[in-house]
Amino acid sequence: MVRREIQRFCIYTLFLTILVLPMVGMRGPEFEARRAFTVLSVLVGVLLLTTVFRLLRETSFYRNLGQRIRQRRDRALGKIQVLPRPVALGSLFFLLALFPFAANNYVIDVAITVLIYVTLGLGLNVVVGLAGLLDLGYIAFYAVGAYTYSLLNLHYGIPFWFALPFGVVIGSLCGCIIGYPTLKMRGDYLAIVTLGFGEIIRLVLNNWDNLTKGPNGLLGMDKPKLILPSFSDGGLSWTVVPLKSLPSLYFVILAVALLTVIAVHRLNNSRIGRAWIAIREDETAAELTGIPTTLLKLLAYALGAVFAAVAGAFFAAKLSYTNPNFFVFLESCVVLSIVVLGGMGSIPGIILGALALIAIPELFRELASYRMLAFGGAMTVMMVLKPEGFIPATRRKRELHEEELESEEAADE
Amino acid sequence: METQAFLVQQIVNALFLGSIYALIALGYTMVYGIIQLINFAHGEMFTAGSFIGLIVLGALQRMGFVESHFVLSMFVVFAMAMAYVAFLGVAIEHVAYKPLRRASRLSALLSALGMSIFLSNGMMLSQGVSDRAYPPVLGTGGIHVLGARITYGQIFIVAFAVALMVGLNLFVKKTKLGKAMRATAQNRRMAGLLGINIDKTIRTTFVIGPALGAAAGVMVGMYYGSVRFDMGFIPGIKAFAAAVLGGIGNITGAMVGGMLIGMVEVLWAAFLPSEWKDVTAFIVLILVLYFRPTGILGERVIEERV
């Protein structure tokens, strides 16, 4: 056992040494190996730790420790669940509403970004988590929402709230346009085609100079406005208040995110939601039981696109600026990882996922260049260690274990 | 005369681009054929190969080796890049794909995406954000055919790519390991029962595929004269489109598909606005998947996989 671990350690160290070789830079005639050496020592350190961990795992001490931790956790979770649900949700909402009064602008800005991604994650959850259609070009709908608002506002002066319905309609139309040709496809092919569509939309935004000003982007859209009653001079009058400050924008996106949560929660338990899950599980069987699969798959795309379009319109309004480079493939990956890391189909999981993927990297701002590196690595590690996500949906958790059995059977065929 | 020269020139360009895409597509198609996974990190392997080629070539040039032994140094550059990326491929397979062989397909796909992001950012951090210039080794000499100019560099690259593909075909058709690969791709469980070492076979796939991608990377670097950390993304997707076009899992199909995608793209850039040329591969991909999801040569793909 110990011998095998040591052997493994040596082989891996050799591998890592070869893999960091290209990081040896050349300054003038000499080799500059310090950076490569640092990276290598960190990697070997991690490797050493895992080796020690693997050896420890076999001892009885560790097994007892694991059991104790699990007991503690279950007890703590039990305590949380004692709180009646309305009270828990109410206090959470209260905290969210009071949040901007206690935080500075930077924190509120991060919170707004997190809420945008919560909305996006929940929207993608409809497509991926419920209907099981893997979409790698989801950010395109976000772009559609952002550009729809920007163009309507810049050319026709349509305010945010009136532009939203247009954004929703155009977004869902785009969803159907993308959804229609992919109806016949499943799994991986669907992934690559949606990726292609996402890139096409980005390229169109980038190349259609007359309409979108190309890579320079669109500038100077209005912020959302609210019409509020005021009682200043005697009688009641209505004043238009532009929501310029970050806290007010925070409330707008909080409302959007909450509406999305409610909508997705209701969808999840509705007839449509159950039909989607049936399609995800076995499309042929779903069709045979009388579910209109074509219609429902299109609906999933359209609804997913709607949430993204709303988030996109808000994003453009908040920044007063859009450009095609906001909507690169990597962003689709981020949203997809929010859905998957959080736990597919689970609303609390997705909220936690958005927090983890958007807020935690903000804490390490100084290490900005290493953020995406860590992000990619974390994605792989998470998939290897805990493919069901942080907070798996109960249904999903059960399915994942079935899937393992099924894939074994499928390999037989 | 003018148009004829123009056409010949475009065909030469298409052959060049097509063989690059074909080489990359082979990596996708082999991996997909054997473990049904879109190896998203494959585009990054292409970039990594290009960077290693740059480093080795730079070192050799500094030593004055390129001038004195041109052929040998070319061999060393390609061999080092391919060997390194093969190492990288095996490492990634071991870390990111092997533990997920029994898990759901989505998990494996996301793991591959994670690896892709990890690698491209790793390369950005270690090699910088800007374009890195390749030493101009291929020279500008060439021959004239029907009024079109073909550089020796183009001839060399196309010939080398074709040699690699022929070699791969021989390997897969004639050797024992190649036979094991085909068997594993057909039915992994059954192949295992018949005494084929599945792990070893899959590892072999992750040696060959990335090595071919790396060769393509070095070729692109030498031809266009620069490399960048994110240059693998677009060719990666186009090559995947090529693999699907030819029928995924089918090695000949990947070659045919790569050539076709290269051809379409070059012709598009020649006659239609060239800033839209990146769209062509996607449109071809979508049309193929819509009308013939099994690809040109892929009869083997069963309904489940589509």
Percent of all residues in chain B with a pLDDT value above 70, rounded to a whole number: 96
pLDDT of residue A307: 92
Q: Tally the C-alpha atoms within 13 A of residue A203's C-alpha that lie toward its C-beta.
A: 19
Asked if B235 contacts B220 with a C-beta cutoff of 8 angstroms, the reply is yes
Given a cut of 70, whether residue B271 has pLDDT beyond it is: yes
Domain membership of residue A81 (yes or no) is no
Asked if B257 contacts B296 with a C-beta cutoff of 8 angstroms, the reply is yes
Using alpha carbons only, what angle is made at residue A149 by residues A144 and A150, rounded to the nearest 5 degrees?
Answer: 95
Q: Which long-range contacts (CB under 8 A, 24 or more apart) does B135-142 make?
A: B135/B57, B135/B58, B135/B61, B135/B66, B136/B225, B137/B57, B137/B61, B137/B66, B137/B70, B137/B74, B137/B222, B138/B222, B138/B223
| A6 token code pair | 């040591």
Given a cut of 80, whether residue A352 has pLDDT beyond it is: yes
Same domain, A11 and A119: no
Domain membership of residue A363 (yes or no) is yes
Given a cut of 90, whether residue B215 has pLDDT beyond it is: yes
CB-based contacts of A96: which residues, under 8 Å, 6+ apart? A254
DSSP 3-state of A262: helix
Asked if A352 contacts A92 with a C-beta cutoff of 8 angstroms, the reply is no
pLDDT of residue B154: 84
Average pLDDT of every residue of chain A: 80
pLDDT of residue A120: 93
A356: part of which helix (H) or strand (E)? none
| B149 token code pair | 């100019």
Same domain, A58 and A172: no
Same domain, A33 and A149: no
Same domain, A247 and A377: yes
Domain membership of residue A259 (yes or no) is yes
Nearest CA in chain A to B62: A29
What pLDDT band is residue A361 in, cutting at 50, 70 and 90? confident
Q: Which of residues 145-174 of B touch A (CB under 8 A)?
A: none
The total of other beta-carbon atoms located within 10 Å of residue B126's CB is 17
Query: Distance of alpha carbon A211 from its chain centroid, rounded?
Result: 29
Asked if A121 contacts A285 with a C-beta cutoff of 8 angstroms, the reply is no
| C-alpha to C-alpha distance for B229 and A373, rounded to whole angstroms | 13
| C-alpha to C-alpha distance for B31 and B206, rounded to whole angstroms | 7
Q: In this structure, what CATH number is given to the domain that contains residue B281?
A: 1.10.3470
Domain membership of residue A80 (yes or no) is no
Query: Distance of alpha carbon A118 from its chain centroid, rounded?
Result: 7
Task: Quick: pLDDT tens for A271-291.
Answer: 998 899 888 888 888 889 988
Same domain, A355 and A401: yes
Domain membership of residue A88 (yes or no) is no
Same domain, A22 and A142: no
Answer whether A333 sits within 8 Å of B88, measured CB to CB. Answer: no
DSSP 3-state of A219: strand
The total of other beta-carbon atoms located within 10 Å of residue A20's CB is 22
Answer whether A378 sits within 8 Å of B114, measured CB to CB. Answer: yes
Domain membership of residue A74 (yes or no) is no
Domain membership of residue A197 (yes or no) is yes
B189: part of which helix (H) or strand (E)? helix B188-193
Domain membership of residue A391 (yes or no) is yes
Same domain, A39 and A169: no
| C-alpha to C-alpha distance for A356 and A35, rounded to whole angstroms | 29
B103 and A CB contact within 8 Å: yes
What pLDDT band is residue B304 in, cutting at 50, 70 and 90? very low
Domain count, chain A: 2
DSSP 3-state of A213: coil
First to last CA, chain A: 36
Q: Which residue has the tokens 């929940």?
A: A122
Higher pLDDT, B224 or B272: B224
| C-alpha to C-alpha distance for B93 and B8, rounded to whole angstroms | 42
Task: Quick: pLDDT tens for B70-86.
Answer: 888 888 889 989 999 99
Same domain, A211 and A348: yes
Section A171-197 average pLDDT: 80
| A72 token code pair | 């503690």
Given a cut of 80, whether residue A158 has pLDDT beyond it is: yes
Domain count, chain B: 1
Question: What would you report as the CA-atom Rg of chain B, rounded to the nearest whole angstrom?
Answer: 19
Same domain, A64 and A131: no
Asked if B114 contacts A380 with a C-beta cutoff of 8 angstroms, the reply is yes
Given a cut of 80, whether residue A151 has pLDDT beyond it is: yes
How far apart are the CA of A341 and the nearest CA of chain B, in angstroms?
10
The total of other beta-carbon atoms located within 10 Å of residue B254's CB is 36
B68 and A CB contact within 8 Å: no
Task: Quick: pLDDT tens for B138-180.
Answer: 777 777 777 777 888 888 888 889 999 999 989 988 889 888 9
pLDDT of residue A123: 92
CB pairs under 8 A between A and B: 163
Same domain, A61 and A105: no
DSSP 3-state of A23: helix
Which domain, by its residues, includes B295?
2-305
Report the range out of A225-229, B63-67, B222-226 with the highest average pLDDT. B222-226
Same domain, A167 and A58: no
Same domain, A191 and A282: yes
DSSP 3-state of A245: coil
Which domain, by its residues, includes A191?
95-412
Nearest CA in chain A to B230: A330
Q: Which of residues 28-67 of B touch A (CB under 8 A)?
A: 32, 36-38, 48, 51-52, 55, 58-59, 62
Least confident of A232-241, B5-14, B49-58, B247-256: A232-241
Task: Quick: pLDDT tens for A58-110.
Answer: 776 766 777 778 788 777 777 666 667 777 778 877 787 777 777 788 888 88
Query: Residue A230 pairs with which residues in a beta bridge?
Result: A237
Asked if B222 contacts B265 with a C-beta cutoff of 8 angstroms, the reply is no
| B185 token code pair | 């791709």
DSSP 3-state of A389: coil
What pLDDT band is residue A170 in, cutting at 50, 70 and 90? very high
